[in-house]
Structure 1
Amino acid sequence: MPECLVFRVPTRHPADVSGLEALIESGAVAAQEIVAVFGKTEGNGCVNDFTRPLAVMALEAALGARLGLPPASVGARVALVMSGGTEGGLSPHLLIVARREGPMAEGRALAVGTAFTDDFLPEEIGRMAQVRATAAAVGRAMAAAGLADAADVHFVQVKCPLLTSARIQEAASRGESVATHDTYASMGLSRGASALGIGLALGEVADAALDDAAIGTRTDLCSGRASASAGIELMRNEVIVLGNAPGWSGPLRIAHRVMRDGIDFSAIQGALADLGLPTGGQLPPEASARVVALLAKAEPTRDGLIRGQRHIMNDDSDINATRHARALVGGVAAAAIGRTDLFVSGGAEHQGPDGGGPVAVIARVGPQEQTRSA
């Protein structure tokens, strides 16, 4: 019977893999068991955030040495999702996700499945080709996790590509057009197409409602379980599906809610309550220690308002709006959990409602909560 393990380790800089190495050396996890790594790096989270590929290179080298593989081959078996931007009080860290055989158990437990699309051509990024390829990959990842029912899926993380000037020119040299010539805007379109693919796979978005024109514009089309992060370091989508599946063992469970805006503290508390954690305010230290990970999306509202009050996130020419949003949601989440090593990702196009986004919590549950989730 499979068991999903999740380890959270701090990083001193984007290329710091000492926490990963220490876990393997201690015997807590074997390199062969690792199926995915989430990372928060301290770059700007924009097109030129090279902390993401630096972290990927370091992880590939470390895991390649352990697995006896060339670093370039590691990505064929391990999904490496680096999200840039630790604004405000957010702490750079890695979430290492592993799968191993565990004891027999009844009920449901945290399950993980991964899948990859083929590399996209530049002209496919931010368009229906990316939507459909992502939906197919989500289906494969669900199957790998034994998640036959979409209702058991609580969070789907995708790492997706973006357009650069060189990629745009390469498409033009073949007579092809791209979704946008604005490289920063391409990040949003890629995230949006990926999120709609997740929504399509989970039955949250109707196929008939989708076309190229809907991507990035139809804010009414969204997934409450999608999280997409765009980066320069890849040309494919890497998909990680997390849910509670029958046939899995271990003490970990996942729950999610959808934040209606960046200060929706109650949504975070709802996810905590689903896992049997107290919700009277900030988690006390003993309860906070049970939380293995919090994963959330952050996005400024397009109308410039939060519950009727004006914000300036979209008007600040010095600091990108997604950086403001990460800091805001990171602060709200840290206030709820009592910790700052949280995976808060900016840019929530089609990931929850305008200005909001999904939030998921992975925690160790006690016998009472295990019975409840069975």
Structure 2
Amino acid sequence: MPRKASLFRLSMGDPGDVSAIEACLADGRLKPDAIAAILGKTEGNGCVNDFTRAYATQSLRAMLARYLEPHAVETVPLVMSGGTEGALSPHWIVIAAEKAEDAVTPGPALAIGTAITPPLSPSEIGRPAQAFRVRDAVRCAMARAEIDSPADVQFVQVKCPLLTAARAATVGGDVATVDMLKSMGLSRGASALGVGLALDELRDMPGDMIGADRSIWSSRASCSAGIELMACEVVVLGQSPGWCGPLRIASTVMADAIDAASVRSLLARVPGDPALAVRAVLAKAEASSNGMVRGQRHTMLEDSDISATRHARGFVGGVLAGLVGHTELFVSGGAEHQGPDGGGPVSIIYSLQASDLGT
């Protein structure tokens, strides 16, 4: 029997506000045991000390515990991405999967598979060991989603850990970096390279490549680091003939932060009004390392008050919002090995039945 994915994009009043999700559970639109993954954009700074991610995760776990057994709660990836700079709006993206009673809209359709690695040692974060763990988790998630070919994977969301001084101390200082903010980038980069290995975008991965060789990147990796976990949580999104329903997913890569043309081409695949049909937008944003955007200087890397990742989220978020027509966009900053330098992957999940607001 084929499976069917559903997606709910829900507004968030604050990082602890799970009321919109509970409303979907209460009225039966969302079944607790069908929840495959929950993504969230929270309003923190997106840096090491952004505890809005942990607050949101804690709130979700407490809510899910009222509906699911403890072991079931632990298997649901909760991917929180901090930072809603500019006019980006905090929101949840709840993806559910269940067996389809009637394949009204045949596939290939949106497919989702998830996997969670064992907890990483602090000494593994930002190093090849992390990449290999993510590679294996991506392959596991693909199998669970019944996605046989890497070509059918459109987007891989990874939530990965970062280093703190306390974590580094537990392994005697044997860590990739003692700069905790830099550890976020190395963790994201190692995770992205792991995705690239799993999707056959890379053949091998020398240890000195992580965070150094910007010419090596995955076109479908989106990685977000946080203090709230030590494992890597992996969500694979693609299309499979084993899935049915109206939801589809398509992806592109922005060559730079203002590459609206690539996104317009992507939106051209959507039937009808994208503001209605597009259910979710997932994107990466990064300040180009040469300090330039199409020959003109930017100052994102030189601002000592605001992290460049925050500038990039707000900047790219504005570009995307103008194209899509709303501001509930899952724009994640820090795109190490995730798309070209200064650019990044973008994915849209859309419905073939724009009037069907329940999917």
Please classify the TM superposition score into its range, dividing by the shorter chain length: over 0.9
Aligned to 1:294: 281
SS in 1 for 2:87: coil
Counterpart in the other structure of 1:340: 327
- In structure 2, C-alpha distance between the alignment counterparts of 1:148 and 1:127, rounded to whole Å: 28
State the alpha-carbon separation in 2 of the partners of residues 75 and 240 from structure 1.
Answer: 15
Cα deviation for residue 274 of structure 1 reads 2.9
Kindly indicate whether residue 202 of structure 2 is the aligned counterpart of residue 205 of structure 1: yes
- What is the Cα deviation at residue 76 of structure 1? 2.4
Distance of 1:204 and 1:130 partners within structure 2: 17
Alpha-carbon displacement from aligned partner over 1:112-157 (angstroms, at most 9, x marks no partner): 0000111000000000100101000000000000100111110000
Q: Which residue of 2 aligns with 1:93?
A: 91
Q: Does 1:248 align with 2:223?
A: no
Task: Kindly provide the amino acid, as one letter, of the partner of residue 136 in structure 1.
Answer: D
Q: State how 1:33-182 maps to structure 2 within 5 Å.
A: 33-67=34-68, 69-70=69-70, 73-102=71-100, 103-104=102-103, 106-172=106-172, 177-182=174-179
1:167 is paired with a residue of what secondary structure? helix
Q: For the aligned residues, what is the CA RMSD?
A: 1.2
> CA contact under 8 A between 1:60 and 1:74: conserved in structure 2?
no
Q: Give identity over the alignment, percent.
A: 54
Matched to 1:38, the amino acid is L
Partner in structure 1 of residue 232 of structure 2: 237
1:27 alignment partner, SS class: coil
CA distance in 2 between counterparts of 1:365 and 1:106 reads 11
Q: What is the CA distance between 1:366 and its match in structure 2?
A: 5.0
- In structure 2, the partner of 1:320 is 307
Q: Distance in 2 between matches of 1:48 and 1:8?
A: 26
Following the alignment from structure 1 to structure 2, what is the Cα–Cα distance between the partners of residues 132 and 259? 26
Q: Whose helix proportion is higher, 1 or 2?
A: 1
2:273 aligned with 1:272, yes or no? no
Matched, 1:190 2:187: yes
Structure 2 contact 75–116 (Cα < 8 Å) conserved: no
Shift of 1:107: 3.3
Aligned with 2:159: secondary structure?
A: strand
Contact 1:63–1:74 (8 Å) recurs in 2: no
Residues 272-327 of structure 1 show CA distances to partners (whole Å, capped at 9, x for unaligned) of 123345xxxxxxxx431111000000000000000000000000011110000000
Provide closer, same or farther for how the CA distance between residues 247 and 323 of structure 1 changes in structure 2, counting only shifts above 3 A. Answer: same
Distance across 1 between alignment mates of 2:335 and 2:90: 20
**Partner Cα distance (1:201, 1:354) in 2:** 21
Size of the alignment, in residue pairs? 351
TM-score, normalised by the number of residues in structure 2: 0.96
Seen in structure 2, the aligned counterparts of structure 1 residues 262 and 9 have a Cα distance that, compared at 3 Å, is: same
Structure 1 SS opposite 2:160:
strand
CA distance in 1, matches of 2:232, 2:274: 35
For 2:79 and 2:72, locate their aligned partners in 1 and report how far apart those are by CA, in whole Å.
13
User: Deviations along 1:216-260, whole A, 9 cap, x unmatched?
Assistant: 001111000000000000001000000011111110000000001
The farther-off stretch of 58-67 and 104-113 is 104-113
Measure, in 1, the Cα distance between the counterparts of 2:231 and 2:268. Answer: 36
Q: Is the 8 A contact 1:291 1:364 kept in 2?
A: yes
**CA 1:75–1:305 in 2, change beyond 3 Å: closer, same or farther?**
farther
Residue identity opposite 1:100 in structure 2: E
8 A contact 1:252–1:362 mirrored in 2: yes
Unaligned runs of 5+ in 2: 355-359
> Aligned to 1:65, what secondary structure does the other structure show?
coil
* TM-score, normalised by the number of residues in structure 1: 0.92
